[in-house]
Amino acid sequence: MRLKLQSLLLAATICLAGTIYFQARAQQTQKSAVTSLYTSISGRSCRTIDRVKETGDVTQLCPGVGGYKLEVADSDSRMSVTVVAPSGKKSDLEYWNVITHGFSSLGEKAEWRVQKRNGKDVPIALIVRVNASENTAAPDKTTSYLAVAKVTPQQSCVTDKIPPSATANEEARRAADSSAQKPCLAASQE
């Protein structure tokens, strides 16, 4: 009888441990699921917040995700983005130093990589297309890079520069999803 009771207790303990394990795995999987949300970084969804008549420099404020916003700067035919955290803290991504020193323009949309936390979309990374005019002999020819930046309340910075390829979008998403552990890229020496 005692052996039977011990066997039942052992079986119940194993079942309980298995249930706890699978619940924890389900919560971890649910927490770690990363998806994409897109916001416009051009056109009517953005509003001009600064314009310098003498130089033509323009800065626009564009909507973001999870309380974040983006400031899009166009200065001397070069463009970059500053991430504005919900707290108001600004992180300049400096595309004109980190991605390209050439003339540049941005794609029309920003791709935010987000995780659901407490039912809210929380940005973990940002992907923006940077079209660079790097060949002075052929200024109309552009190279389209994907700039990947980690996004945190403390600091946002570019972690990866993805060159054009058939799989660039997938590479950028993989880089974005692991960007939290990566260092910030330094200014390019090109």
Largest CA distance in the chain: 94
Instruction: Give which of 30, 34, 28 is closest to 112, Cα–Cα.
Output: 34
* Domains of the chain, residue spans: 1-32, 33-181
Q: Note the pLDDT of residue 159.
A: 98
32: confidence class by pLDDT, cuts 50, 70, 90: low
Q: Which strand ranges, in their side-by-side order, compose the sheet holding 120-133? A: 34-40, 103-117, 120-133, 143-151, 156-162
Q: Give dist(CA 100, CA 163) in Å, integer.
A: 12
Task: Kindly give the residue spans of alpha helices, DSSP state H, lying in 1-138.
Answer: 2-32, 95-98
pLDDT tens for 103-158 read 999 999 999 999 999 999 999 999 999 999 988 888 789 999 999 999 999 999 99
Does residue 21 have a pLDDT over 50?
A: no
Q: Stretch 93-109: mean pLDDT, rounded?
A: 96
Instruction: Give which of 109, 121, 110 is closest to 35, Cα–Cα.
Output: 121
> Pairing state of beta strands 103-117 and 90-92?
unpaired
Q: What is the pTM of this model?
A: 0.82
Contact predicate 125/150, CB 8 Å: yes
Contact predicate 97/188, CB 8 Å: yes
The percent of residues above 90 in pLDDT, for the chain, comes to 76
